[in-house]
Structure 1
Amino acid sequence: MASPKVLPPSTLQKLATFKDKPPSTPPPPSSSFSSSSAAVSSSPLDSFAADPVFSAFLSPDFDSAQFCSQALTSNSAASRAEHLQDGIRQLEKQLRSEVLSRHGGLLSQLSSLRDAESALSTVRSGVSSLQSSLRRVRLEVAEPRRQLHAHTVQLSNLHHTADLLQFTSKLLRQSKKLRDLVAVGSEHPERLDLAKAAEMHREIELLYEEHDLKGISAVQEEIKWLSETGNRLRSEAMRAVERGMEESNPNDIWCGLQVFYNLGELRSTVDALINKYKGVGVKSVSAALDMKAISASTTGGFGPGGVQRSGTPQLGSGKRAGEALWERMGNCMEELHRVVTAVWQLQTVLSRKRVPFTHVSFLHEVWQVRFDAYSLVVLESVDVELPSPSRESIPISPDAEGDPLLTDRVWEALVKSFTSQMKSAFTASSFVKEVLTNGYPKLFSMVENLLERISQDTNVKGVLPALSPEGKGQMITAIDMFQTAFLASCLSRLSNYVNSIFPMSTRGTTPSKDQISRMILHIQEEIEAVRLHGPLMLLVLHEINTVLLLFAERTEYQISTGTEARQVTGPATPAQLKNFTLCQHLQEIHTNMSTTVSDLPTLASDVLSPSLGTIYGVACESVTSLFQAMLDRLESCILKLHDQDFGVHGVDAAMDNNASNYMDELQKSTIHFRSEFLSKLIPSSHTDTICTRLVRGMASRVLVFFIRHAALVRPLSESGKLRMARDMAELELAVGQNLFPVEQLGAPYRALRAFRPVIFLETSQLIGSPLLQDLPPSVILHHLYSRAPDDLQSPLQRNKLTPLQYSLWLDSQGEDQVWKGIRATLDDYASKVRTRGEKEYSPVYSLMLQIGSSLVETTSAQRHR
């Protein structure tokens, strides 16, 4: 069965578009086409859109194959085909209606096409006529144009030839002048003006290059001679520059640079010079650490005694190789100094000399300056005052980042090479590593002297120095690895010695005096090796500080403790003798190191201060318990003073010249201490040592303790005063002979000497006595209780304390706090007097108030300072 005729989807879509298109402005009424549009508006498309079959044809994504497939599978293909035929007939009917309704408009459009075709025929005829006219004009103009072009070319050639003749003539004249100038210089070299000759040479070159005079036989002959002359000028100028750089002669450098500037080769020449000196410096660094060359120079070859693969000389040539290495290092430092100062001379001349008219420095011609604060220093730090327009006339490159100075470029290359060679020598050659590590102070001195010499030789007012602080630091950093190895070696040597005299396996080992002396000598040798190198010396002192702390730690570990180390009644025990020895060793180290440090700068003292303080503390710790035990013994003897009756009256008591029992015991104790302990601790020379200071402190404490408790004695009769005076004399004798010279004790001794006559003064004489100036106010106030009536109780009596308890309280209080306790007893006394109705107080009461008031005023003034 034949398939039904299906209307193409494009036709339906066009009709749908036509239908759905919204109406524009109304057409003119006279148009027949427009008048029929209203009738057509009711088309079958409206019914098609609502029909389930035809609506598919209006869809933009209509697929005919899919539509047919659905129709065939719906079991109604025949009815569907008939339905489509009806639709086609309706559409054809609609098309006929549309054509008929628009018949007039279509005829009108056809008439317009005929008119357009007639107009186009007329235009074609005009264009053909115009083309014919243009061909006639072209034939008439072509010949004159050809003749004009030929004459123009002929005139241009004439002008070019005339220019060539003119510039050739000028070049030959300039060459003649240059020949005459060079001829004079050949006969009289001293009269040859290299700068002028270079300027003329450059002019001739520019004439030749800019005007393309190549190929002219006369010119070519001159150019050949000009090339030879230019080489001669460059050679003479380079010799002048290098001579000036080597001999520090700015005039020679300036003359040579002027030649190259006139030749237009200033920057390239300076770059070549910089590269040359850079290469010389780098080569000298490489040669300094070339172990093969060192071995060859010391052994005459690579046979027996030559260098091994590891860079270590064979047996028998190590010393000579080491000396050769140091000699080469010295030569290297000299070469580096020569290179840097030479480049600085070149840079200085470039910065001082300026281009005429523009006033731009030559340095700016070879160094792209960035105008920051640093570059302005370069341009302004010259002796000659800059003309006012100089800054405006200096060309500034907008994208210049600032090239390094010439000296910085050379120094950077030298430091880079030096650092690389040092690292290589440190890792690849055990011999060089050992020599430079052990002799690091010498290596450091070489580098330091190099930097110092360069700084001094380039320290010129108004000119930048050759090296910046950063550049100097880079050179020092290059040898840091040897510094680290040297410090580690120093620490290892000293630490190993400390470990050898204090083995960790045994606790009871005590070093000998000879071992201590050798250790001190080793330390002093390490310091002496770096004494002249400030920064290095401080680093070495840090290592010595570590070693001294280690020694103090090991010594502290050896100190004996316990009752055996604190006993004071019998002879010195072995534990005490061991502590004495350790204390003396520490004293010797402390004394010698303090003396050594006293000759060094303050910073050196600060570095060793922690270790010396630790040594001092350990030395004190070794005997502190013994000294405290001796002092406790002497204080216990003095406390027995309160068991003595100083209030007894009678002639027998006054005539008794025997010392008190407590004083006799104290004297025996000091004699025992002197013979058994102090004689072994204190040197016979009476020098100021740690033990000497401890003994001095103990002696001062004994005098102060005695005066305190003597002032607390109550009652004190006239006979008691005499006994007290005898006891004080005995105390002075015992302390001075057995402990420490009393006249060197200062304030405690003056207080003892003053207290003796004070006890014999009348109460009315006390207030104006100059003896009170040497006594603490608390001592005077406590003594006055012995002169006061019984109802004026002392703080000791008021608080019901033992002399020892009250003494301990006094140790922890100041004079103002003591006065507060005394003032409380005075207030109690005044209250008792008022209670009894009495109107007069004891003279002692008024005197104590007066002394206390002055004490308060003095304390207040001290606090406000």
Structure 2
Amino acid sequence: MTTTMTTTTTTSSTTTPRPHLQKLPTFKEPAPPPPPSPLEALAGDPIFSAFLSPSFDSAAFSSAALSSGSAASRAESLQDSIRLLHRHLRDEVLLRHDSLLLSLSHLSSLSSSLSSLRSSLSSLSLSVRRARSDLSDPRRLLSLHTSQLHNLHSAAHLLANVSKLLKLSSKLRNNIGTLDIAKAAEMHREIHLLYEEHDLSGISVVEDEIRWLDQSGSRLRSDAMASVERGMDSSNQNDVWCGLQVFYNLGELASTVDVLINKYKSAGVKTVGSALDMKAISASSSPSSFGPGGVQRSGTPQIGGGKRAGDALWERMAKCMEELHRIVMAVWQLQTVLSKKRVPFTHVLFLHEVWQEGDPLPTDRVWEAIVKAFAGQMKSAFTASSFVKEAFTHGYPKLFSMVENLIERIERDTEVKGVLPAIGPEGKEQMVAAINVFQTAFLALCLARLSDYVNGVFPMSSRGSIPSKDQISRLVLRFQEEIEAVKFHGHLMLLVLREIGKVLMLLAERAEYQISTGPESRQVTGPALPAQLKNFALCQHLQEVHTRLSTTVASLPNVAADVLSPSLGVIYGVACDSVTSLFQSMLDRLESCILQIHEQDFGGNGMDMTMDNSASSYMDELQKATVLFRNEFLSKLLPSSSRSETICTQLVRRMASRVLIFFIRHAALVRPLSESGKLRMARDMAELELAVQNLFPVEQLGAPYRALRAFRPVIFLETSQLAGSPVLQDLPPSVVLHHLYSRGPDELQSPMQRNRLTPLQYSLWLDSQGEDQVWKGIKATLDDYELKVRARGDKEFSPVYPIMLQIGSSLAEATSSQ
């Protein structure tokens, strides 16, 4: 093979080279692509590609070939492929003949190198075995001595700790009677930590000391717990502190506090449960003849034992509240000490050793358990025991007072500066909410009780029946009793007042239904009719309810008056409605008499008119009307004592004041007014005082009476004296201005004349206007008068003209300043 390759090489090197321009590059054909290898051809074949798969299975392939029905042809194909592979392998060997020979020479040199390496490795292995045998003995001795040294050190350390423990134990044993309990606890803890940290268990002398230590620890815990509980119960914080210090030194502060809290929680729950134990209540209150327990299945005492059972129930509730106060105060004392005292050296509060931020405080935990138990017992008693339900419903103010007093006592006793209180606002609300089921029943009972009485006093079936004064007094007394029962319980009082307000609204509705509104209720020309007498009685009854309840509410806080004022206002309104139409009819009658003043002659100057001292006819009619009103109506409406202010008194006052003002208004409108007419009008004013006296004492009417007394001298004053007269201060400006028209010329028309109104129409207009609007109407007449005078060419005005302008200007200035 070597010879062949050499020959081939020689032949190639001796071949004459072709010319450089044998073929132009332009005509050079691309080299043909190399033929595909047999492996590539087989990879594309659907049959032979299976041999190239990593998961080729010869058995599966043979089975498929035999079952295909062309096994001979496939075998022939396989033979052709095998021959093709052999041929390809031969070509590959020939192509890489030189590299294969070179590799073969390398393998022979490698074989000789491996034989020399094998002998070197044998020598090395022999040297290693010899070195191992030389080093193993020193290493074994070193390991043994190291182990012995470690054991010696451990034994020495153990002996030192045992010695220390025995010394501490001996010191504690010898001085336990004289040492402070907290110091003894500290030594006790130190010994235990020494025992546990160094694992001294199993040593007999140590175990003996530990047994004695456990006994002494039990005595320390017992004494410390007694000190803590004694201090909690007696509010002695020093005792609590001493006991807690012992448990802190023992490393048991957190667990001890948990034990104490759970103990007082259990005591509170047990106290609440025993307070409502109906069997115990009945057994303690029933005579022995009732048999064992003396209680029925429904939780109701035996017949005849209700009062004793009720007294026993309230007595047990009082004891329960007292015990709950003691429990909460005890836990608060514990919490206060924890929040005041600090750990020595670290100065961390004891509270932070047993409490994490966000967790409930000890008092909160105990109070929450008490409230939960209390609410559950109340709910259970309401549904399971008709006796307790009735007792607490009827006596809810007493129950509420007990709960309220408990909360107030706890607040008062734990209100210390710089210390958290025992319970917060939310805790108070939860305790009150625990008895809400009885509160709802109590309010419903109160509403039903008062409503039934109102329905009995004012039955819907009978419209004409009016209750007696005694019935109204008893009704008011019932209202007052309900208020009196809760007057010292702010929140409950407001709730009861709301229920009373509902009943008052019902009372007003029933009374309003009874009011007579027909024409007979408004007649004022004869004696009082039955319908009017019925209205009088209703007015007086409602007035008594309003007066007495207003007096009762006046002694309560302002918020109570705010709750009841709307319903009392409705009562007052219905009382007014029952007689308002009558007073309006009386006032209309008196005003119609006064309007007749415009039919009288006040402008004459005859001697007969001057010498006549008799009153005018309209004034006689007015006097007769007032006497009739006094005898037939007011005598039945007004109280016997003039000091008491009633609805009718106010209505009469208003009516009397209106009569005086109405008279002054129309007396000022009289035109013309002669000197004789002035005398006659003065007599009428004197008679008017006597007439109004039949209605109400005129001297008590204030401004209207002063205006009447001032108007009398005004009509006699000279026009020039009017502007500076002090009596004008008691008269409305409109009255003075209207009176001045009677002193002016005929061409100076009043607004009534200018607008061609009747006295009644003009009076109604004056009722709806203010003084400033009246002045605008008067100013228009003055402007008309001014135009007429200037149209005539006159340069002088009537003396009243500048006075009227002066009064009107002052009125306009006062109005603008306001």
Fold equivalence (TM over 0.5): yes
- Contact kept? 1:288, 1:328, Cα under 8 Å: yes
From 805, 825, 828, the equivalent of 2:761 is 805
Aligned CA distance change for structure 1 residues 167 and 47 (closer, same or farther; 3 Å): closer
What is the CA–CA distance in structure 1 between the aligned matches of 2:546 and 2:113, rounded to whole Å? 129
Alignment of 1:316 onto 2:304: yes
Q: Give runs of aligned pairs for residues 728-807 of structure 1, distance below 5 A.
A: 728-737=685-694, 739-807=695-763
- Contact kept? 1:278, 1:413, Cα under 8 Å: yes
* Residues 312-338 of structure 1: CA deviation (Å, up to 9, x unaligned): 112111111111111111111111111
Question: Residue in 2 aligned with 1:491?
Answer: 447
Q: Give runs of aligned pairs for residues 638-787 of structure 1, distance below 5 A.
A: 638-686=594-642, 687-737=644-694, 739-787=695-743
Q: Give runs of aligned pairs for residues 246-261 of structure 1, distance below 5 A.
A: 246-261=233-248
Query: 1:801 is paired with a residue of what secondary structure?
Result: coil
Query: 2:756 is paired with a residue of what secondary structure?
Result: coil
What is the CA–CA distance in structure 2 between the aligned matches of 1:111 and 1:239, rounded to whole Å? 104
Aligned CA distance change for structure 1 residues 86 and 270 (closer, same or farther; 3 Å): closer
From 283, 305, 316, the equivalent of 2:270 is 283
Alignment-mate amino acid for residue 342 of structure 2 = R
Question: Residue in 1 aligned with 2:209?
Answer: 222
Alignment-mate amino acid for residue 688 of structure 2 = L
Question: Residue in 2 aligned with 1:352?
Answer: 340
Alignment-mate amino acid for residue 594 of structure 2 = I
Deviation at 1:643, TM superposition (A): 0.7
Deviation at 1:406, TM superposition (A): 1.2
What is the CA–CA distance in structure 2 between the aligned matches of 1:225 and 1:64, rounded to whole Å? 89
Question: Residue in 2 aligned with 1:831?
Answer: 787
- Contact kept? 1:654, 1:719, Cα under 8 Å: yes
Query: 2:329 is paired with a residue of what secondary structure?
Result: helix
Query: 2:460 is paired with a residue of what secondary structure?
Result: coil
Deviation at 1:733, TM superposition (A): 0.7
- Contact kept? 1:647, 1:716, Cα under 8 Å: yes
Alignment-mate amino acid for residue 360 of structure 1 = V
- Contact kept? 1:778, 1:819, Cα under 8 Å: yes
Aligned CA distance change for structure 1 residues 116 and 342 (closer, same or farther; 3 Å): farther
Query: 2:176 is paired with a residue of what secondary structure?
Result: helix
Alignment-mate amino acid for residue 692 of structure 1 = T
The TM-score, its normalising length taken from structure 2, stands at 0.89
Alignment of 1:342 onto 2:335: no
What is the CA–CA distance in structure 2 between the aligned matches of 1:601 and 1:476, rounded to whole Å? 21
- Contact kept? 2:341, 2:349, Cα under 8 Å: yes
Deviation at 1:101, TM superposition (A): 4.3
What is the CA–CA distance in structure 1 between the aligned matches of 2:73 and 2:249, rounded to whole Å? 108
Alignment of 1:464 onto 2:457: no
- Contact kept? 1:43, 1:94, Cα under 8 Å: no
What is the CA–CA distance in structure 2 between the aligned matches of 1:201 and 1:842, rounded to whole Å? 121
What is the CA–CA distance in structure 2 between the aligned matches of 1:55 and 1:662, rounded to whole Å? 147
Deviation at 1:525, TM superposition (A): 0.2
The TM-score, its normalising length taken from structure 1, stands at 0.84
Question: Residue in 1 aligned with 2:34?
Answer: 41
Deviation at 1:300, TM superposition (A): 5.5
What is the CA–CA distance in structure 2 between the aligned matches of 1:707 and 1:555, rounded to whole Å? 39
Deviation at 1:42, TM superposition (A): 3.9
Alignment-mate amino acid for residue 698 of structure 1 = M
Q: Give runs of aligned pairs for residues 56-455 of structure 1, distance below 5 A.
A: 100-104=94-98, 130-183=124-177, 185=178, 192-299=179-286, 303=291, 306-368=294-356, 370=357, 402-455=358-411
* Residues 84-139 of structure 1: CA deviation (Å, up to 9, x unaligned): 99999989877765665455556666666777777667666665655554444333
Deviation at 1:280, TM superposition (A): 1.1
Alignment-mate amino acid for residue 511 of structure 1 = P
Identity across aligned pairs (percent)?
72
Aligned CA distance change for structure 1 residues 84 and 205 (closer, same or farther; 3 Å): closer
What is the CA–CA distance in structure 1 between the aligned matches of 2:52 and 2:602, rounded to whole Å? 140
What is the CA–CA distance in structure 1 between the aligned matches of 2:389 and 2:344, rounded to whole Å? 55
* Residues 156-190 of structure 1: CA deviation (Å, up to 9, x unaligned): 2211221222122212221222122124x4xxxxx
From 544, 567, 584, the equivalent of 2:500 is 544
Q: Which of 463-472 and 779-788 deviates more?
A: 463-472
Aligned CA distance change for structure 1 residues 255 and 815 (closer, same or farther; 3 Å): same
Question: Residue in 2 aligned with 1:386?
Answer: none
Question: Residue in 1 aligned with 2:10?
Answer: none
Alignment-mate amino acid for residue 612 of structure 2 = D
- Contact kept? 2:280, 2:293, Cα under 8 Å: no
What is the CA–CA distance in structure 1 between the aligned matches of 2:670 and 2:410, rounded to whole Å? 79
- Contact kept? 1:660, 1:727, Cα under 8 Å: yes
Deviation at 1:515, TM superposition (A): 1.5
Q: Which of 112-121 and 643-652 deviates more?
A: 112-121
- Contact kept? 1:305, 1:313, Cα under 8 Å: no
What is the CA–CA distance in structure 2 between the aligned matches of 1:144 and 1:90, rounded to whole Å? 71
Question: Residue in 1 aligned with 2:526?
Answer: 570
Deviation at 1:787, TM superposition (A): 0.5
What is the CA–CA distance in structure 1 between the aligned matches of 2:107 and 2:276, rounded to whole Å? 104
Deviation at 1:143, TM superposition (A): 2.8
Question: Residue in 2 aligned with 1:556?
Answer: 512
Aligned CA distance change for structure 1 residues 609 and 126 (closer, same or farther; 3 Å): farther
- Contact kept? 1:44, 1:91, Cα under 8 Å: no
What is the CA–CA distance in structure 2 between the aligned matches of 1:57 and 1:222, rounded to whole Å? 86
Deviation at 1:676, TM superposition (A): 2.0
Alignment-mate amino acid for residue 302 of structure 2 = Q
Query: 1:787 is paired with a residue of what secondary structure?
Result: coil
Q: Which of 84-93 and 496-505 deviates more?
A: 84-93
Structure 1 stretches lacking a partner, 5+ long: 1-36, 186-191, 371-401
What is the CA–CA distance in structure 1 between the aligned matches of 2:72 and 2:343, rounded to whole Å? 108
What is the CA–CA distance in structure 2 between the aligned matches of 1:615 and 1:291, rounded to whole Å? 46
What is the CA–CA distance in structure 2 between the aligned matches of 1:337 and 1:734, rounded to whole Å? 72
Question: Residue in 2 aligned with 1:12?
Answer: none
- Contact kept? 2:483, 2:497, Cα under 8 Å: yes
Alignment-mate amino acid for residue 216 of structure 2 = T
- Contact kept? 2:740, 2:804, Cα under 8 Å: yes
